[in-house]
Amino acid sequence: MNSERPFCLMPFIHYHVGNAGYVKACCVSNITYGNCNTQAFSDIWRGDAINALRNKFKNGEFDPRCAVCLKLEEAGGKSIRQETHERFVWRNESEVNPLPIYFDIRFSNACNFACRTCWHGASSAWFPEANKLKRNAGNTALIQNITDFKNFISQTGEALLKAEEIYFAGGEPLLSEEHYALLNYLIDNKHTKLRLRYNTNFSVLEFKGHQILDYWKQFEHVEILASLDAHKNLGEYIRKGFNWNIFVENRNAIRELSHIRFKIAPTISVLSIANLPDLYKTCLDLEIIGKDDFYINILERPHFYNIKAIPEQLKSKIEKSFDEFYSWANQNEMPQSVLKQFEECIAYMQAEDLSKHWKKFIEETELFDKMRGESSTDLKNTFGTFYTNK
């Protein structure tokens, strides 16, 4: 590798704001450049921390703090590093971008779901249970990452008006007042040809008088990555707050906006992996997605939800069900890009034995079943005796 293709593009094009306003290399690394609440944008974007990483990547080196991407690649999955190389064109060293062109902004942890694989730092709805279990990330349900929106815009606005893409996640971005304020800023300044991408639970289309469809009509490129791990009862079990019928209604409500690309983006965990073929087929049958509107996120931590933690006999059972899905998919001419993602899941699952964490998975599941008054016959049918085998 050399400066014409650095190890990772992120520090050259990307600006990620996460928990407590810390600006990091990306949403999965632990590489911090500064804090947008206490430092000027220019000091962060041209600072020593980000320049040190740029120099390292230009030399073809990787940083140990990038282990998430490396482990995923080694296990057969596709990492954010690889995806960024595919989606963005690198300008050579003499044309280094003076401003970021790709933003990932997490304004707060505001969210109406308490998904089992999530935590309080990413969901305000998690606070009551997290506080009870002493797993809370703060003393209040809502954690504001950007404390002064006007200051953020004054510092970052010039770059935002030259951005090629803004990615919104959360929390739940459609429940963030700052999200709508930013869209208004882009519209007022006639910067509407960029790409808006969302990772959203897609449970609401209106928030405090803001009709999101009225906003999306004004932008040329909108992509929805709907956080849907399973359909119907299992989906509602994994993501507390999810309602399958409302999800389908909301999907139908945006069909009139043909410029919106709608995908499902399941988080691949112990809870969801066995249901993945049925989820894909169900969403196709109901015309929720097109054949290639599928985008997986493989969960790494906590380890007890990582699919590598599944006992070997169960892994074999899941792999066999995927083989049956491949046969169906080939007969029905499903895209190779989709099949490759299913294959990545199996390759990742089989890459390492983390079954020592299976007992913790059962304990955690029983704990939240009791707290929430829930249970899942889908999981019990899938895991059989392993479900009670601690």
Find tokens 């006639």 and name the residue. Answer: 190
**pLDDT interval class at 3 (50, 70, 90):** very low
- The domain segmentation of the chain, as residue ranges, is 9-98, 266-389
pLDDT (0 to 100) of residue 15: 97
Name the nearest CA neighbour of 290 among 322, 254, 264, 319.
264
Percent of the chain past pLDDT 70, that is, above it, reads: 97
Residue 381's Cβ-count burial label (10 Å; 0-12, 13-18, 19+) is exposed
Q: Check: pTM over 0.75? Answer yes or no.
A: yes
In this prediction, residues 80-103 reach a mean pLDDT of: 82
| Residue 1 pLDDT | 38
pLDDT at residue 93 above 60?
no
User: In this predicted structure, what is the pLDDT of residue 4?
Assistant: 66
271 confidence band (pLDDT: 50, 70, 90)? very high
d(CA 26, CA 45): 14
Torsion, Cα of 168, 172, 174, 177 (10° steps): -90
**Chain mean pLDDT for the chain:** 94
Task: Determine the Cα–Cα distance for residues 264 and 230; give it in Å rounded to an integer.
Answer: 10
The model's confidence at residue 149, banded by pLDDT at 50, 70 and 90, is very high
For residue 75, the model assigns a pLDDT of: 82
Using DSSP's 3-state secondary structure scheme, residue 196 falls into strand
Long-range contacts of residues 176-184, Cβ cutoff 8 Å, at least 24 apart: 176/107, 176/108, 176/110, 177/207, 177/208, 178/107, 178/108, 178/146, 178/149, 179/107, 180/207, 180/210, 180/215, 181/149, 182/105, 182/153, 183/215
| Cβ atoms of 130 and 143 closer than 8 Å | no
8 Å CB contact between 31 and 155: no
Write down the H helix ranges in the chain. 10-13, 41-45, 48-58, 67-74, 80-87, 127-132, 149-160, 177-188, 212-216, 232-238, 244-253, 276-285, 312-331, 336-350, 358-372, 377-383
pLDDT by residue (tens digit) across 335-348? Answer: 999 999 999 999 99
Burial of residue 281 (CB within 10 Å: 0-12, 13-18, 19+) is middle
pLDDT per residue as tens digits for the range 346-375: 999 999 999 999 999 999 999 999 999 999
* pLDDT at residue 170 in the model: 84
pLDDT over threshold 60, residue 242: yes
The dihedrals phi and psi of 316, each to the nearest 5 degrees, come to -65, -40
CA distance 57 to 53: 6
pLDDT value of position 2? 46
- At residue 384 the predicted structure's pLDDT band, cuts being 50, 70 and 90, is confident
pLDDT for 90 beyond 90: no
Distance CA 70, CA 49 (A): 21
Q: Tell me which residue has tokens 């390292």.
A: 56
**Per-residue pLDDT for 189 more than 60?**
yes
Highest average pLDDT, of 4-18, 86-100, 193-207, comes from 193-207
Task: Give the range among 75-84, 171-180, 264-273, 288-297 with minimum mean pLDDT.
Answer: 75-84
